[in-house]
Amino acid sequence: MNFGPLPSVEAAAVPAEGLVLDVRENDEWAAGHVEGALHVPMSDFVARFGEVTEAVADGRTAYVMCRVGGRSAQVTQYLVGQGIDAVNVTGGMQAWEGAGRPMVTDHGNPAFVL
């Protein structure tokens, strides 16, 4: 079965108001993340799928991100299969940081990619 190419976008091209769906684990999120992102770790994804469908209920695109793009590609493929407009962020948080995009932490510490 061929699903065709996975929709993807460079980190620098994610719109500032875009819905970023971060599927990294809690320690990675704590080190640094995109402000306003929805954090649903891949390990909790099925159990918390309702949070994702609620966030995109108004037709928003989900920009799915992990550290380098592997986990987010799997989640993006799943979401697209569910009829959700989802795009994998190529290169993940490493590319986001490399593009000079802003990152935050929940405690005000300097943000970095773990």
Residues known to be catalytic: 66
SS3 20: strand
SS3 3: coil
Location of structure tokens 């091209």: 13
Residues with Cβ within 8 Å of 24's Cβ and at least 6 positions away in sequence, in order, are 33, 39, 41, 42, 65, 66, 67, 71, 93
Residues with Cβ within 8 Å of 35's Cβ and at least 6 positions away in sequence, in order, are 102, 103, 104
